[in-house]
Amino acid sequence: MPKVTVIIAAYNRSRLLKCALTSLCNQTHKDFEAWIVGDCCTDDSGQIVAGFCDARLNWSNLPERVGSQSGPNNEGLKRARGEYIAYLGQDDLWFPWHLQSLVTTIEQTNTDFVHAVVALLAPDRPPEAAGAPECRRSDGERNFSPSGCLHKRKIAETCGPWPLPEGLTGCVDFVFQRRAFFAGYRFAGTGRVSVIKFPSAYWRTYARSEGFPQEQYLSRMQQSCNELEIHLLTQMVVSSVQRAEDLSIMRSLRMFLRSVYWRAVDWYGRDNWPLSIYFREKQHRGRQSALPRRGLSPIPSEAAEAKNQPGSI
């Protein structure tokens, strides 16, 4: 039985999937299986997986599009045999030490859910770090990128599968993570950058056919992963220092008010009325606006739902 099952939700971007799979196969931790599950893919993603000729890589394609990572992730969980579950976005990259650092952390800390530090890359600004090892907010109120997470398989068995996006007060990964936290499972962080994330809404991933940054970063990673890590860390530190030194009075005030706002939300609970209504609507609007930003059209069920909203034409 493999130590880790890696689940990759894929949708019609085989060129990026190939980069993600290359970073997976380059892991120093070799004891894994991977389930790459297509959300009703119509491109050559299946052939890309088969082209690696690696028995650890398994392909499955859903017969109908779900329009969310929940569908592929849940299919992967059904097929998983590993003690631990990790997730890799089809457009993200793992440094070679990623899986090993997660497994080491979860076993040394005797916890149930661990996360790495993720470098978020955007086309128009310096990289930002997400998933700091310590924070005043609880792990039930912080959102970790799935590409940086690993958890014991029993969490999905006891807390239920990944939720579908409709009617939630947050994104599906956030809700899945919160269920684990409020069920009493323990969290920890590796404290090391081991993931490069390219948010599709930033890069309009599905609206372009070339100019993908993943290929460039994968090449740099293969040439010298340590140099790339230092480069990203340096950029993040310099950017953080610049933001701290350039704070205007208005920006400082906005940051203070935002901090007060989130502390109040965390204290009251976003699932309690009337905040639950506000966050459900906010999540619905955010999901609707994210699709065109990513270069995607709504799936038929969501298009009909949007048409029936009050005030729609």
Query: pLDDT tens digit string along 191-219?
Result: 999 999 999 988 988 888 788 999 999 99
Q: Which residues are CB-contacts of 197 (< 8 A; sequence separation ≥ 6)? A: 89, 92, 118, 119, 120, 121, 130, 145, 147, 148
User: Percent helix, strand, coil in the chain (nearest 5)?
Assistant: 45, 20, 35
Rounded distance between C-alpha atoms, residue 172 and residue 165, angstroms: 6
What per-residue confidence (pLDDT) applies to 134?
65
CA angle 240, 149, 64 (to 5 degrees): 115
DSSP string, 155-207: HHHHH-SPPPSTT-SS-HHHHHHHHHHHTT--EEEEEEEEEEE--HHHHTGGG
What per-residue confidence (pLDDT) applies to 263?
81
Rounded distance between C-alpha atoms, residue 107 and residue 137, angstroms: 24
What per-residue confidence (pLDDT) applies to 19?
98
What per-residue confidence (pLDDT) applies to 243?
76
What per-residue confidence (pLDDT) applies to 131?
83
Rg (CA), the chain: 19
* Residue range 259-304, pLDDT digits in tens: 887 788 888 888 888 888 888 888 888 777 777 777 887 765 554 4
Do the beta carbons of residue 187 and residue 113 sit within 8 Å?
yes
Query: Which of the residues in the chain have pLDDT under 70?
Result: 133-137, 299-313
In this prediction the pTM is 0.90
CA angle 264, 269, 275 (to 5 degrees): 85
DSSP string, 273-291: TTHHHHHHHHHHHHHHHHH
What per-residue confidence (pLDDT) applies to 299?
64
Residue 17, both tokens: 């999937």
DSSP state of 3: S
Closest CA to 163 of 179, 185, 149: 179
The domain defined by 4-243 folds into: Spore Coat Polysaccharide Biosynthesis Protein SpsA; Chain A (3.90.550)
What per-residue confidence (pLDDT) applies to 219?
97
Residue 302, both tokens: 């969501």
Do the beta carbons of residue 198 and residue 288 sit within 8 Å?
no
Instruction: Supply φ then ψ for residue 267, to 5 degrees.
Output: -70, -45
